[in-house]
Amino acid sequence: MLKQKVILLANTDWYLYHFRLSLAHMLRDRGFDVILLSPDGSYGPKLRDLGFCWEVMPMERRSLNPWREFGLVLWLARFFRRERPLLVHGFTIKGAVYGSLAARLVGVPIRVNAIDGMGYVFTSDQLRARMLRPVVRHVMRSAFHGERSAVILQNADDVALFKQSHIAAERSLRLIKGAGVNLGRYLPHGPRASQTRAPLRVVLAARLIWEKGIGEFVEASRMLRSEGRSVIFLLAGSPDDGNPAAIRRSQIEKWVGDGLLVWLGHVSDMPALLSDVDVVVLPSYYREGLPTTLIEGAACALPLITTDAPGCREVVTRNGEDGILIPARDAKALADAIRILDDDRALGVKLGLAARKKALEEFDESIVLGEMFAVYQELGATLPAPI
């Protein structure tokens, strides 16, 4: 008897490897034939090394050419017709919309669409983004229509936006908080500087785009440095050249040269990095889904500083109790929050412990995967017994 096929697709192989690998493993362990789709990249071969079928799809993340985009939908439709999957699960706006459109064209039984953040079109104030917004909303409505279709959102703000904009039928909307984190890999190490006057080490780990608040992070460093404080600002991440809001490498190198931060580049071992820092910050003004970097920091019992913005406030829900919330686009507020934790190391310990408790109760990947499978079953997927 042939196995039922599930196709997972996203706009980068990096995303599949870092955020959806546990889902792929669980599907395979339960007897499904799993196919992974993304544009070409260095993580695809790693997925194949793990025994998964990974295929390259001709998606260009920055493309706005309607003929190229229509061609991608047709390519996906042909691929789905050949593979005959039971279920297509698309991630990120582009992956979800195009995957769902193509799946509708060829009659794939079940379509699951995961929106992990609202992306450039919905978050940018640039004219191009504002002009594209109504078009994208219309296409999303077409893609997400159907009886056996679900739209998975990661925070209550996005659920409200989808309802208000009528992007998808209310009955199809599901709230699942994030991609899940294997909290067994992220353990408290004790705040490194809590009982000493060692320089506070503050890390921002994110894609290097302006909307993550990296400019405010640098300005906060400049402010505290002007006071003579020895706080160490660490930036982890690589330039995201496929994003219109990417920060140039030359700009990052200039900040490094000015002594405002230490740039770590891409970090593959986040547990090791978090064992050597004291505070995790994400001053985002992006419509986050639910930021994994905050959950990882919380799992390590590190104090969190983030903005009162969609997605971020799902992790830090009680300002001053499980983290510190600051206004978006406010470098001074960020500097003030870091100064508080620099002066009061015991407060950092208290906030970190509360953050870990919340992470264990809400964000462990076993919880998230269980909720994901419940959606599959609700839409009619029969889950084979584990093999």
pLDDT tens figures, 42-66: 999 999 999 999 999 999 876 667 7
**DSSP structure string for 136-157:** HHHHHHHHH-STTEEEEESSHH
Give the Cβ contact number of residue 65 at 10 Å. Answer: 10
Rg, C-alpha atoms of the chain? 21
Torsion of CA 46, 47, 48, 50, to 10 degrees: 90
pLDDT tens figures, 99-108: 999 999 999 9
Q: Is the pLDDT of residue 207 over 80?
A: yes
Mean pLDDT across the stretch 292-304?
A: 96
pLDDT band at 285 (very low <50, low <70, confident <90, very high): confident
Distance, CA of 261 to CA of 309 (rounded, Å):
24
Distance, CA of 372 to CA of 284 (rounded, Å):
27
Q: Nearest CA to 35 among 95, 68, 79?
A: 79
Give the residue with greater pLDDT, 192 vs 339: 339
> Same fold for the domain at 5-180+364-378 and the one at 184-362?
yes
Mean pLDDT across the stretch 360-373?
A: 94
- pLDDT for the residue numbered 67: 82
Distance, CA of 361 to CA of 177 (rounded, Å):
12
Amino acid type, 356:
R
pTM, to two decimals: 0.88
Distance, CA of 344 to CA of 244 (rounded, Å):
39
pLDDT band at 145 (very low <50, low <70, confident <90, very high): confident
Of all residues in the chain, the percent with pLDDT exceeding 70 is 93
Give the residue with greater pLDDT, 201 vs 160: 201
pLDDT band at 387 (very low <50, low <70, confident <90, very high): very low
- pLDDT for the residue numbered 382: 76
Out of 99-103, 129-133, 154-158, 182-186, least confident range: 129-133
- Give the residue carrying structure tokens 């793990």: 50
Q: Tell me the domain boundaries of the chain.
A: 5-180+364-378, 184-362
Q: Nearest CA to 148 among 169, 162, 165, 163?
A: 169
Distance, CA of 65 to CA of 43 (rounded, Å):
26
Amino acid type, 198:
A
- Distance set, CA 136 to CA 67, 98, 209, 326 (Å): 15, 11, 21, 31
pLDDT band at 165 (very low <50, low <70, confident <90, very high): confident
What lies within 8 Å, CB to CB, of 184 at 6+ separation is none
Out of 74-78, 140-144, 147-151, 259-263, least confident range: 140-144
- Residue 348 contacts residue 194 (beta carbons within 8 Å): yes
Q: Is the pLDDT of residue 183 over 70?
A: yes
Class level of CATH domain 5-180+364-378 = alpha beta
Residue 171 is classified by DSSP as G
Distance, CA of 33 to CA of 123 (rounded, Å):
36
Mean pLDDT of the chain: 90
- Distance set, CA 5 to CA 14, 20, 355 (Å): 22, 16, 38
Q: What is the CATH number of domain 184-362?
A: 3.40.50.2000
